[in-house]
């Protein structure tokens, strides 16, 4: 079982945004997708969720090719959290999170749905905010609501596009820990596009580094976050190491 793509290429306008991507995400693993602005991280996530059709190549969910699946079928397998700011519906926090149960409408009882939503609100520290309007929340609060909505969806695969970019340090750590727990306890597969390389190395089983629409490197963080790859993909010199077993990446002062 996996969420996978083979020989995926995407063109937008005259621009090739992804080229020859082979990738598979398996249940029970957390993969971080890293790369410079415009490298193609969001584009790959949109293709894997079926929101964008690739120009060539194919995407499969557990062996079934994407164009043959309905949106409802995709939603039972994949929970997608877009970059912050994409969602501006004027619903309450509790209504937004409840939307995550839509794929289970046929089998949910009212009380089961309420219990699941309540558990998700608690997990993302949203208790007491249930009646607040989503579009009046701060960026970080919105991200937590969108994570709770993905959590309650109980999909096998999670696609998270920069889910922690607006979170403060504590909530960032808690959100990534929660995703790690979901991966370990519930055996979901999670793909997270993220700019924080230290956090990526800390929480992911493996990293995929994109550069101009191609995979430049993939594997254990020690093999991906090398001086050569960081220079090539980001144009920086960086110090990479561990402190008490926790990985860090610190850019050097540029001359
Ligand atoms: N709708 C579009 N039309 C044309 N080009 C697009 C479109 N969406 C994205 N692109 C281009 O595709 C490339 C990849 O964009 P993408 O958003 O996937 O990058 P990213 O790695 O997620 O970047 P960031 O870190 O800034 O979020 C960029 O050059 C971008 O300008």
User: Could you give the ipTM of this predicted complex?
Assistant: 0.96
- Total residue count of the chain as it appears in this document: 255
Determine the pLDDT at residue 171.
86
| Nearest CA, atom 4, ligand 1 | 12
* Arithmetic mean of pLDDT over the chain: 93
Give the span between the Cα atoms of 26 and 81, in whole angstroms.
Answer: 18
Q: In this predicted structure, what is the pLDDT of residue 85?
A: 56
E strand or H helix at 78: strand 78-81
Ligand 1 mutation pick, 32, 36, 43, max ligand atoms within 8 A of CB: 43
Cα torsion 100, 101, 102, 104: sign: positive
Does the structure show a pLDDT above 80 at 155? yes
Give yes or no for a contact between 147 and 163, defined as CB atoms under 8 angstroms apart. Answer: yes
When pLDDT is cut at 50, 70 and 90, the band that residue 254 belongs to is: low
Supply the pTM of this predicted model. Answer: 0.93
Task: Look at the block and give the residue holding tokens 């877009």.
Answer: 82
- Pick the residue with more confidence: 96 or 254? 96
Closest CA to 10 of 23, 20, 2: 20
What is the Å distance from ligand 1's center to 171 Cα? 27
- State how far the Cα of 41 lies from the Cα of 125, in Å rounded to an integer: 28
pLDDT tens per residue, range 47-100: 999 999 999 999 999 999 998 999 888 989 999 998 865 556 689 999 999 999
Pocket of ligand 1 contains residue 247 by CB under 6 Å = no
Q: How far is the CA of 115 from the centre of ligand 1 (A)?
A: 38
The whole-angstrom separation of Cα 204 and Cα 118 is 28
> What are the structural domains of the chain?
3-88+155-251 (3.40.50.300)
Ligand 1 pocket test, pick from 9, 21, 40, 197 with the greatest ligand atom count within 8 Å of Cβ, gives 40
> What distances in angstroms separate CA 154 from CA 138, 143, 164, one per listed residue?
25, 18, 20
12 lines ligand 1 (CB under 6 A): yes
Question: What was the pLDDT predicted at 166?
Answer: 81
What distance in Å separates the CA atoms of residue 223 and residue 38, rounded to the nearest whole number? 22
**Is the CB–ligand 1 distance for residue 14 below 6 Å?**
no
What gap in Å lies between CA 19 and CA 220, rounded to an integer? Answer: 22
Q: What is the phi/psi pair of residue 31, to 5°?
A: -115, 130
């Amino acid at each position: 079982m996996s969420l996978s793509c083979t020989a995926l290429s995407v063109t937008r306008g005259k621009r090739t945004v992804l080229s020859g991507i082979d990738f598979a995400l398996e249940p029970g693993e957390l993969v971080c997708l890293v790369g410079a602005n415009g490298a193609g991280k969001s584009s790959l996530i949109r293709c894997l969720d079926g929101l964008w059709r690739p120009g060539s190549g194919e995407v499969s969910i557990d062996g079934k090719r994407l164009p043959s699946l309905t949106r409802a079928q995709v939603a039972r397998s994949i929970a997608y959290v877009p970059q912050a700011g994409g969602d501006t519906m004027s619903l309450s926090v509790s209504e937004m999170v409840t939307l995550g149960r839509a794929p289970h409408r046929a089998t949910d009882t009212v009380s089961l749905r309420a219990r699941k939503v309540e558990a998700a609100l608690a997990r993302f520290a949203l208790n007491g905010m249930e009646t607040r309007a989503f579009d009046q929340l701060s960026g970080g609060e919105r991200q937590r609501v969108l994570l709770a909505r993905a959590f309650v969806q109980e999909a096998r695969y999670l696609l998270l596009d920069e889910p922690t970019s607006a979170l403060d340090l504590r909530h960032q750590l808690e959100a990534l820990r929660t995703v790690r727990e979901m991966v370990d306890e519930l055996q979901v597969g999670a793909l997270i596009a993220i700019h924080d390389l230290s956090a990526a190395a800390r929480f992911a089983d493996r990293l995929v580094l994109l550069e101009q629409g191609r995979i430049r490197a993939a594997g254990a963080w020690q093999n991906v976050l090398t001086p050569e790859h960081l220079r090539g993909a980001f144009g920086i010199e960086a110090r990479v190491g561990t402190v008490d077993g926790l990985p860090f990446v610190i850019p050097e002062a540029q001359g």
